[in-house]
């Protein structure tokens, strides 16, 4: 098969395994089943339409082979049920209880393409005027790609399923139609346990507790518990002490500094939706000044403001960039994949996604520097106050507060900053496909998870949760079951859940939270959410830290104390007044900052990082990311997990993790053995020594040889152990363009160049 | 010192060299040495212009082995310690300027440049810094011995004994009914760039070997490198056939390749992997070389692997250095990296090795690998394929054997490719072929973090001593050149490595000896080796949190084990004393590491 010129042409060197059986032949061997198969339906799930037989192409080869089965569309998912007897995967560790490997939750459908002979066309919804495609290609938001052939079932069934899928996946619908509501009506999810729980920040205690924990000294606002103040504001929130009742209602919450987190020095981080300022109207400006003064009063009369829209990408930029980025991973066939491999780095750079991650992390580091080094209050703002503000405020807290690097802490952080913080999850996902909301669609939350992943891969042992946890969380955004990601803000959630309640007596509808992981995974699968490398804080650490802290604090606050004298206050006001007149400003950040307190310049950030880096790393202290080019990477697990050709069989991070887990289990084993011994020694001289029970760590398969880099999302049994040979390795531009005469030179430099 | 993070030369203080340190003062040994060498030269008030920290003032010392700069003005103390072997070129920057400053630039082989400046001193001293540098950095050009010949450190193990060709072939089950060990090259008469021990098909006589040698470039006949323990498929290596423009044939060579194929009963095919791009292979016909035609070699299939020559690789590394040193341009990092093509070359080499390993493992087919001379690209391909196929080579000692065998004994021309002690830095024979190989190995360790016994530090150390000229391992061009002088008078790098294995061991190593590794050769999984190419940048602190954490756990386990054992003893003692008639308690089996 390989010609004498080897892999000279892209086409001759396809994977060397070719199936000589065409789908038609397969079909004639096996009579198509008349019987339609149904998946195990979930509570409240209804089948809309189905077709049979449908051929699902297998992704991992070019031979156009696949499996026959039934394609269905329900109110929850697009589902393919194979005719082949499913081998009961008793050993399958990481099974999602809500959907299987051949199911696509409706909200997870990203794009649908129609396949015509050798063209593919993006389907945008509405009735198809032209010919019905023979193939339907589904790109999913979790990066899976499905290809189904519709030519084997009755034409009318094929049309129906095609139209059905397009209708339910792409066309506008009302929130009521989202599966979550049918699901909730038909299940009774138990209340989450109150002890050792994720704080949801839907009640007073959670806010009180969080402020107490960080020793913040701000005002807890309870007046909005039934959204009397504003529909936009959370039920409960915290503002600086000096904010009055009057201030609360002034501009529907715009311009109101919302407390995020207090630094141990006393300064705090606030965020706000910026207030549109106009030259004609002085009221907003006066209000803004008052709010800034209130923030400054929180600690030592200093405040820095940062308008995030000045320096960070807009939500449209984020959407555009991600759209380009994701295309690298939505692979229809391997030839395409290997072709794109050649220009991988420059394509990656051009889409700008990694750069956006870097910018967000950098901004967060800037804020961290203000809080940690200068002990200044910081107010971040943007138009909505709930997009990049959420990204930055949560990143700052992750970097500064080890509590948020635990699993429950992280979940609480997402609840506080994103869910209670009013991030418009529904609009940003636009899972209702409303035309007027197309512009507001943007993967802001994913951008945040990406940033967290960068921190995680740079400082793994600092995090209690695993990479897999982050990947699963990013997938769960598109599982339309959880109340967490279904609404735009607190009042939206409360109103809808109350309205949808089956009976008014029973109170609002009880939709599960995504943090109730048992809805999706059993306990063993949930074990994979914890990071075996997590450096648990030992008692020793804690006592050390306690004694250490005051010194640390003093040291840090010394250099900056100069401009924190109360006299600053006067200067601050005067300056603001005079500047205001001169500039007739629009942006607060420009004039509220006195020259000396400008946001840290780049050189200072570098220094700040280097000083931190020079100290021994404390996983329970401040964490900063390295932002240099090579340090910002692609989240391999999330993006490459479904692409067969890049699975490292027997390798990948799991090889390390399984080894670490084993060792951890051994250490635990020894600990309990010690306990046993201690008991026998003290209680009884005649202690029978029990030989160590050989309980191998259950959570990871023993031989990581069989696992791949896609673990736990794909098990390698599906695939052969044949390596993927790149199909277009050669004739790269490099040869003709760059190498030029060097390429044709002899290896022996001494010999003359006689080559034509 | 932040700056020297992970620098090999920092972590070990070479005891035998301490006498060369001016601060230690003179000793008897020093006097002895003084007879042959000029004393170390020390200059005060020299400025090192660090691209990261800025100008540093300190003391510069040059000995016959190293350059040592120390700045005590700052906290922590800044130290730069560089073996002169690393220096590729020394240049004066500008003349004596009006301000009376003289400036030198050192271009190094390990991806950094150093710049020093000092006030114009009395003419003699200024001159001597430059001259001493030129003298000891390039001993070969000055008719001086390379430092390795002076280095008298004694290590517990003789590193030269790590590789014994006979023993290695025996491990592979050779000789067997199809393959024999020939003595024909015992005195390097058949081929002076080959090792003395060669494995060839049983039914080919030494006379025939000589005739085959006449048809292969530089007499480098196809010989066995590795045999599959089950299928008997083999990896054989050679140089190009001397086909020429007229398509010359050799019955002996054809018969010989047939014999290689026949030695493996599992397959009726033989794959010939020509590492070169087909254009280059064809161009070689103009000079008498070329490639096997499929007409002449009936059952053979020829595949070109499109790996470029040493000049392209040298140019690629030059560009890479521009991109990574001293600073990285953040906004265009990825496209700049792509424009160097460095990772593309790495990808092609790994892809070639992967195809070879796949043919041998999955296809059970024997392969013949060659390029032009069979000492650069061929060495890369066979050694990488063997690393994929045979877990033994993934141990520390196994890897040493692999290097000794495929690179050193088979005549990779280290002296020419590296240019040890030679001031001719523009020499077209220099090329980072071995560096590329180590880079490929590193890429594999990234993909299979538990499959290699050695760690990243081992690979970095190997590369550092590729240039350092402290050990004899990488001196000379062939086994023949090395076998007399070098083995007798220098220390092998492996003596040093094996004396402190702990440092070079990957704590996560799991020995899956029979497991074949197929790395993924997509750009998605290849990355620039930051820990080597960008290690001079203090911002890129190498982070091995996993290893660190794992070591902590190991320590914890050891501690707990100890306590368990102590308690056991206590229990045993007590029960023995209280109940004399009691049967002795069976001692617990020590906790073993799972494999």
ipTM of the complex: 0.87
Least confident of A540-554, B338-352, B451-465, B522-536: A540-554
- Say what the pTM is: 0.87
Under an 8 A CB cutoff, do B578 and A7 touch?
Answer: no
Active-site residues of B, by number, are 371
Among B332, B427, B567, the residue with its CB nearest the CB of A749 is: B427
Q: Is the per-residue pLDDT at A503 higher than 70?
A: no
Which of the four pLDDT bands, split at 50, 70 and 90, describes residue A459? very high
Which of the four pLDDT bands, split at 50, 70 and 90, describes residue A13? very low
Question: What are B409-447's pLDDT values in tens digits?
Answer: 999 999 999 999 999 999 999 999 999 999 999 999 999
Q: Looking at A84-241, which runs of residues are DSSP E strands?
A: 103-105, 109-116, 119-123, 135-140, 145-149, 219-221, 237-239
Under an 8 A CB cutoff, do A629 and B333 touch?
Answer: yes
Query: What per-residue confidence (pLDDT) applies to A186?
Result: 84
Query: What per-residue confidence (pLDDT) applies to A194?
Result: 52
Q: Tell me which of B584 and B408 has the higher pLDDT.
A: B408
Q: Is A390 in contact with A421 (CB distance < 8 Å)?
A: yes
Instruction: State the angle between helix axes of A344-351 and A315-327 in degrees (0 to 180), rounded to the nearest 10.
Output: 160
For residue B189 the two structure tokens come to: 């008469």
Annotated binding residue at B284?
yes
Q: Tell me which of A6 and A113 has the higher pLDDT.
A: A113
Query: What per-residue confidence (pLDDT) applies to A556?
Result: 31
Under an 8 A CB cutoff, do B537 and A628 touch?
Answer: yes
Among A342, A348, A630, the residue with its CB nearest the CB of B528 is: A630
Peptide bond into B367 cis (omega under 30): no
Mean pLDDT of the residues in chain A: 80
Query: What per-residue confidence (pLDDT) applies to B45?
Result: 87
Instruction: Determine the average pLDDT of the residues in A735-743.
Output: 59
Query: What per-residue confidence (pLDDT) applies to B127?
Result: 63
Question: What are A334-384's pLDDT values in tens digits?
Answer: 888 888 898 999 999 999 999 999 999 999 999 999 999 999 999 999 999
Under an 8 A CB cutoff, do A653 and B449 touch?
Answer: yes
Phi, psi of B199 (to 5 degrees): -110, 125
Annotated binding residue at B299?
no
Which of the four pLDDT bands, split at 50, 70 and 90, describes residue A191? low
Query: What per-residue confidence (pLDDT) applies to A331?
Result: 86
Query: What per-residue confidence (pLDDT) applies to A540?
Result: 57
Query: What per-residue confidence (pLDDT) applies to B132?
Result: 87
Question: What are B17-27's pLDDT values in tens digits?
Answer: 333 332 323 33
Query: What per-residue confidence (pLDDT) applies to B6?
Result: 35
Would you give the DSSP letter of residue A530?
B
Taking CB atoms and an 8 Å cutoff, what residues of chain B touch A540? none
The residue in chain A having the minimum alpha-carbon distance to the alpha carbon of residue B563 is A674
Q: Is A393 in contact with A399 (CB distance < 8 Å)?
A: no
Which of the four pLDDT bands, split at 50, 70 and 90, describes residue A46? very high
% chain B with pLDDT above 90? 71
Which of the four pLDDT bands, split at 50, 70 and 90, describes residue A131? confident
Question: What are A653-700's pLDDT values in tens digits?
Answer: 888 888 888 888 888 888 888 888 777 666 654 444 444 433 344 444
Q: How far is A744 from chain B (nearest CA, A)?
A: 6
Q: Tell me which of A680 and B86 has the higher pLDDT.
A: B86
Instruction: Determine the average pLDDT of the residues in A101-129.
Output: 87
Which of the four pLDDT bands, split at 50, 70 and 90, describes residue A423? very high
Q: What is d(CA A291, CA A307) in angstroms, rounded to the nearest whole number?
A: 15
Q: Which residues contact A381 (CB under 8 A, 6 or more apart)?
A: A271, A272, A273, A274, A305, A306, A307, A308, A389, A588, A589
Query: What per-residue confidence (pLDDT) applies to A728?
Result: 54
Specify which residues B271 forms β-bridges with. B301, B367
Q: How far is B139 from chain A (nearest CA, A)?
A: 22
Which of the four pLDDT bands, split at 50, 70 and 90, describes residue A505? low
Taking CB atoms and an 8 Å cutoff, what residues of chain A touch B549? 460-461, 533, 535, 660
Phi, psi of A503 (to 5 degrees): -140, 140
Among A636, A671, A742, the residue with its CB nearest the CB of B311 is: A742
For residue A195 the two structure tokens come to: 């002890």
Q: Is the per-residue pLDDT at A593 higher than 60?
A: no
Question: What are B498-515's pLDDT values in tens digits?
Answer: 999 999 999 889 877 678
CA B3 to chain centre: 24
Of A510, A526, A530, give the one whose Cα is nearest residue A518.
Answer: A526
Q: Is the per-residue pLDDT at A726 higher than 60?
A: yes
Least confident of A63-67, A374-378, A597-601, B300-304: A597-601
Least confident of A230-234, A276-280, A312-316: A276-280
Instruction: Determine the average pLDDT of the residues in B94-120.
Output: 82
Under an 8 A CB cutoff, do A725 and B354 touch?
Answer: yes
Least confident of A43-57, A275-289, A353-367, A569-583: A569-583
Query: What per-residue confidence (pLDDT) applies to B107?
Result: 96
Among A345, A667, A709, the residue with its CB nearest the CB of B335 is: A345
Q: How far is B296 from chain A (nearest CA, A)?
A: 13
Interface test with A, best of B77, B520, B531 (most A CBs within 10 A): B520
Annotated binding residue at B31?
no
Interface test with A, best of B297, B338, B513, B540 (most A CBs within 10 A): B338
Query: What per-residue confidence (pLDDT) applies to A624?
Result: 95
Among B348, B450, B563, the residue with its CB nearest the CB of A659 is: B450
Q: What is d(CA A542, CA A318) in angstroms, rounded to the nearest whole number?
A: 40
% chain A with pLDDT above 90? 50
Query: What per-residue confidence (pLDDT) applies to A713?
Result: 86
Q: What is d(CA B54, CA A610) in angstroms, rounded to the nearest whole number?
A: 14
Under an 8 A CB cutoff, do B545 and A749 touch?
Answer: no
Q: Which helix (H) or strand (E) holds A55?
A: strand A47-57
Query: What per-residue confidence (pLDDT) applies to B13?
Result: 34
Phi, psi of A50 (to 5 degrees): -155, 160
Q: Which residues contact B16 (CB under 8 A, 6 or more apart)?
A: B151, B152, B153
DSSP letters, B172-185, are: TT-S-SSEEEE-TT
Question: What are A520-569's pLDDT values in tens digits?
Answer: 999 889 989 999 888 887 655 555 444 444 333 333 333 333 333 333 33
> In angstroms, what CA-CA distances link B529 with B230, B432, B443?
35, 15, 8
Mean pLDDT of the residues in chain B: 87
Under an 8 A CB cutoff, do B332 and A349 touch?
Answer: yes
Q: Is B52 in contact with B32 (CB distance < 8 Å)?
A: no
Instruction: Determine the average pLDDT of the residues in A395-410.
Output: 97
Q: Is B403 helix (H, G, I), strand (E, B) or coil?
A: helix
Instruction: Determine the average pLDDT of the residues in A270-289.
Output: 85
> In angstroms, what CA-CA distances link A708 with A199, A528, A703?
35, 15, 11
Q: Tell me which of B120 and B132 has the higher pLDDT.
A: B132
Query: What per-residue confidence (pLDDT) applies to A62?
Result: 59
For chain A, the farthest-separated pair of C-alpha atoms sits apart, in whole angstroms, at: 95
Taking CB atoms and an 8 Å cutoff, what residues of chain A touch B540? 626, 628, 630-631
Phi, psi of B484 (to 5 degrees): -90, -85
Instruction: Determine the average pLDDT of the residues in A592-617.
Output: 74
Taking CB atoms and an 8 Å cutoff, what residues of chain B touch A341? 522-524
What count of Cα atoms within 13 Å lies in the side-chain half-sphere of residue B241? 28
Taking CB atoms and an 8 Å cutoff, what residues of chain B touch A687? 571, 575
Query: What per-residue confidence (pLDDT) applies to B551?
Result: 79
Q: How many CB atoms lie within 10 A of CB A122?
A: 10
Q: Is the per-residue pLDDT at A615 higher than 70?
A: yes
Specify which residues B90 forms β-bridges with. B106
Q: Which helix (H) or strand (E) holds B119?
A: strand B113-119
Q: Is the per-residue pLDDT at A573 higher than 90?
A: no
Query: What per-residue confidence (pLDDT) applies to B10?
Result: 34
Instruction: Determine the average pLDDT of the residues in A585-614.
Output: 64
Query: What per-residue confidence (pLDDT) applies to A281?
Result: 78
Peptide bond into A712 cis (omega under 30): yes
Question: What are B548-590's pLDDT values in tens digits?
Answer: 777 777 887 888 888 888 888 877 787 777 655 444 433 333 3
Query: What per-residue confidence (pLDDT) applies to A86?
Result: 62
Annotated binding residue at B289?
no
For residue B12 the two structure tokens come to: 């070990």
Q: Is the per-residue pLDDT at A25 higher than 80?
A: no
Q: Is B521 in contact with B350 (CB distance < 8 Å)?
A: yes
Q: Is the per-residue pLDDT at B593 higher than 60?
A: no
For residue A240 the two structure tokens come to: 């600086």
Question: What are A83-110's pLDDT values in tens digits?
Answer: 876 655 545 678 899 999 999 999 999 9
Least confident of A28-32, A666-670, B328-332, B362-366: A28-32
Q: Is the per-residue pLDDT at A731 higher than 80?
A: no
Peptide bond into A693 cis (omega under 30): no
Angle at the Cα of A198 from the Cα atoms of A192 and A199, rounded to 5 degrees:
105
For residue B48 the two structure tokens come to: 């090192």
């Amino acid at each position: 098969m390989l010609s004498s010129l080897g892999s000279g042409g892209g086409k001759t060197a396809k994977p060397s395994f070719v199936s000589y059986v065409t789908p038609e032949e397969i079909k004639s061997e096996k009579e198509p089943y008349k019987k339609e198969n149904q998946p195990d339906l979930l509570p409240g799930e209804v089948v809309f339409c189905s077709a049979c037989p449908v051929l699902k192409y297998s992704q991992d080869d070019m031979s156009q082979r696949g499996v026959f089965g039934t394609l269905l569309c329900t109110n929850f998912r697009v589902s393919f049920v194979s005719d082949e007897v499913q081998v009961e995967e008793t050993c399958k560790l990481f099974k999602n209880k809500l959907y299987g490997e051949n199911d696509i939750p409706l909200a997870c459908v990203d794009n649908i393409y129609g396949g015509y002979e050798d063209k593919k066309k993006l389907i945008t919804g509405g009735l198809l005027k032209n010919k019905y495609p023979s193939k339907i290609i589904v790109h999913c938001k979790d990066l899976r790609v499905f290809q189904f052939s519709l030519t084997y079932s009755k034409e009318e069934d094929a049309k129906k399923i095609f139209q059905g899928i397009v209708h339910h996946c792409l066309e506008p619908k009302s929130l009521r139609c989202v599966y979550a509501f049918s699901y909730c009506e038909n299940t009774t999810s138990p209340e989450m346990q109150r002890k050792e729980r994720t704080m949801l920040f839907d009640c007073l205690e959670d806010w009180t507790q969080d402020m107490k924990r960080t020793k913040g000294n701000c005002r807890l606002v309870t007046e909005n518990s039934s959204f009397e103040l504003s529909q936009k504001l959370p039920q409960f929130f915290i503002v600086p002490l000096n904010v009055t009742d009057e201030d609360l209602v002034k501009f529907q919450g715009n311009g109101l500094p919302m407390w995020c987190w207090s630094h141990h020095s006393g300064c705090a981080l606030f965020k706000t939706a910026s207030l549109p300022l106009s030259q004609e109207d002085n009221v907003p400006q006066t209000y803004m000044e008052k709010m800034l003064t209130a923030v400054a009063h929180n600690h030592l009369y200093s405040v820095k403001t940062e308008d995030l829209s000045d320096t960070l990408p807009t939500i449209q930029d984020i959407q555009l960039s991600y759209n380009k980025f994701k295309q690298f991973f939505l692979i229809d066939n391997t030839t395409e994949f290997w072709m794109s491999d050649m220009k991988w780095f420059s394509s990656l750079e051009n889409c700008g996604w990694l750069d956006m991650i870097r910018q967000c992390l950098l901004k967060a580091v800037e804020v961290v520097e203000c809080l940690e080094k200068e002990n200044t209050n910081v107010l971040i703002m943007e138009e909505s106050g709930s997009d990049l503000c959420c990204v930055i405020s949560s990143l700052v807290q992750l970097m500064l507060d080890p509590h948020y690097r635990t699993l429950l802490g992280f979940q609480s952080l997402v609840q506080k900053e994103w869910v209670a913080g009013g991030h418009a999850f529904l609009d940003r996902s636009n899972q209702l496909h409303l035309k007027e909301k197309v512009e507001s669609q943007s993967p802001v939350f994913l951008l945040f998870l990406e940033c967290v992943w960068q921190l995680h891969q740079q400082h793994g042992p600092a995090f209690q949760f695993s990479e897999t946890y982050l990947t699963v969380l990013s997938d769960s955004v598109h599982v339309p079951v959880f109340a967490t990601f279904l609404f735009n803000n607190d009042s939206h959630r409360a109103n809808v859940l109350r309205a949808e309640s089956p009976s008014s007596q029973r109170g609002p509808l009880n939709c599960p939270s995504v943090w109730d992981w048992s809805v999706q995974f059993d306990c063993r699968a949930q074990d994979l959410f914890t990071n075996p490398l997590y450096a648990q804080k030992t008692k020793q650490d804690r006592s050390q830290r306690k004694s250490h802290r005051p010194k640390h604090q003093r040291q840090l606050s010394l250099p900056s104390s100069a401009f924190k004298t109360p006299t600053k206050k006067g200067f601050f006001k005067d300056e603001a007044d005079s500047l205001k007149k001169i500039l007739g400003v629009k942006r607060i950040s420009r004039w509220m900052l006195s020259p000396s307190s400008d946001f840290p310049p780049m050189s200072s950030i570098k220094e700040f990082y280097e000083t931190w880096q020079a100290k021994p790393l404390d996983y329970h202290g401040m964490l900063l990311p390295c932002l240099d080019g090579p340090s910002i990477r692609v989240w391999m697990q999330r993006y490459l997990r479904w692409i067969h050709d890049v699975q490292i069989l027997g390798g990948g991070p799991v090889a390390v993790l399984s080894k670490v887990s084993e060792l951890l289990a051994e250490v635990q084993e020894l600990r309990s053995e010690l306990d046993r011994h201690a008991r026998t020694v003290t209680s009884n001289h005649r202690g029978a020594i029990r030989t160590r029970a050989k309980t191998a760590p259950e959570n990871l398969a023993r031989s990581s040889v069989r696992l791949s880099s896609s673990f736990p999302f794909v098990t390698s049994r599906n695939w052969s152990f044949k390596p993927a040979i790149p199909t277009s390795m050669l004739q790269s531009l490099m040869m003709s363009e760059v190498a030029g005469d060097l390429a044709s030179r002899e290896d022996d430099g001494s010999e003359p160049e006689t080559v034509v | 010192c932040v700056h020297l993070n992970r620098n090999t030369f920092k972590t070990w203080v070479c005891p035998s060299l301490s006498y060369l340190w001016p601060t230690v003062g003179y000793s008897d040994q020093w006097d002895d040495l003084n007879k042959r060498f000029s004393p170390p030269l020390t200059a005060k008030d020299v400025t090192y212009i660090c691209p990261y920290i800025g100008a540093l003032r300190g003391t510069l010392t040059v000995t016959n082995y190293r350059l040592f700069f120390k700045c005590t003005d700052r906290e922590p103390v800044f130290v730069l310690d560089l073996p002169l072997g690393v220096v590729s070129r020394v240049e004066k920057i500008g003349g004596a300027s009006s301000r009376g400053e003289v400036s030198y630039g050192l271009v190094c082989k390990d991806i950094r440049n150093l710049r020093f400046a000092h006030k114009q001193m009395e003419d003699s001293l200024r001159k001597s810094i430059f001259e001493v540098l030129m003298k000891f950095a390039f001993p070969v050009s000055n008719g001086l011995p390379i430092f390795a010949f002076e280095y008298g450190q004694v290590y517990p193990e003789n590193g030269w004994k790590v590789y014994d060709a006979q023993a290695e072939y025996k491990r592979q089950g050779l000789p067997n009914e199809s393959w024999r060990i020939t003595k024909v090259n015992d005195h390097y008469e058949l081929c002076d760039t080959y090792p003395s021990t060669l494995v060839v098909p049983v039914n080919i006589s030494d006379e025939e070997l000589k005739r085959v040698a006449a048809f292969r470039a530089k007499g480098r006949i196809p010989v066995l490198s590795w045999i599959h323990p089950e299928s008997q498929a083999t990896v054989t290596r050679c140089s190009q056939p001397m086909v020429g423009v007229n398509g010359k044939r050799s019955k002996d060579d054809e018969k010989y390749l047939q014999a290689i194929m026949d030695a493996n009963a599992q397959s009726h095919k033989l794959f010939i992997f020509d590492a070169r791009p087909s254009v280059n292979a064809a161009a070689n016909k103009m000079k008498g070389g070329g490639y096997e035609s499929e007409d002449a070699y009936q059952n053979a299939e020829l595949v070109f692997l499109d790996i470029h020559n040493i000049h392209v690789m040298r140019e690629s590394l030059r560009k890479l250095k521009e991109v990574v040193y001293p600073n990285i341009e953040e906004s265009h990092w990825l496209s700049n990296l792509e424009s160097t093509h460095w990772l593309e070359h790495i990808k092609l080499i790994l892809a070639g090795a992967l195809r070879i390993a796949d043919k041998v493992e999955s296809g059970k087919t024997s392969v013949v690998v060659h390029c032009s001379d069979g000492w650069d690209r061929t060495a890369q391909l066979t050694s990488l394929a063997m690393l994929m196929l045979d877990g033994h080579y993934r141990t520390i000692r196994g890897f040493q054997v692999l290097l000794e065998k495929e690179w050193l004994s088979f005549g990779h021309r280290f002296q020419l490719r590296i240019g040890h002690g030679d001031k001719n830095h523009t020499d077209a024979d220099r090329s980072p072929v071995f560096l590329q190989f180590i880079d490929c190995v590193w890429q594999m360790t990234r993909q299979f973090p538990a499959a290699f016994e050695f760690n990243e530090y081992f690979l970095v150390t190997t590369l550092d001593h590729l240039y350092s000229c402290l050990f004899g391992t990488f001196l000379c061009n062939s086994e023949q050149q090395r076998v007399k002088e070098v083995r007798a008078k220098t220390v092998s790098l492996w003596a040093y490595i094996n004396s402190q294995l702990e440092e070079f061991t990957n704590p996560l190593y799991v020995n899956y000896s029979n497991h074949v590794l197929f790395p993924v050769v997509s750009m998605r999984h290849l990355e620039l080796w930051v820990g080597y190419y960008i290690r001079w940048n203090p911002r890129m602190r190498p982070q091995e949190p996993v290893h660190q954490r794992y070591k902590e756990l190991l320590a914890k386990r050891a501690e707990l084990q100890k306590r368990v054992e102590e308690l056991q003893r206590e229990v045993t003692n007590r029960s023995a004393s209280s109940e004399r008639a009691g049967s002795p308690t069976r001692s617990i089996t020590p906790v073993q590491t799972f494999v």
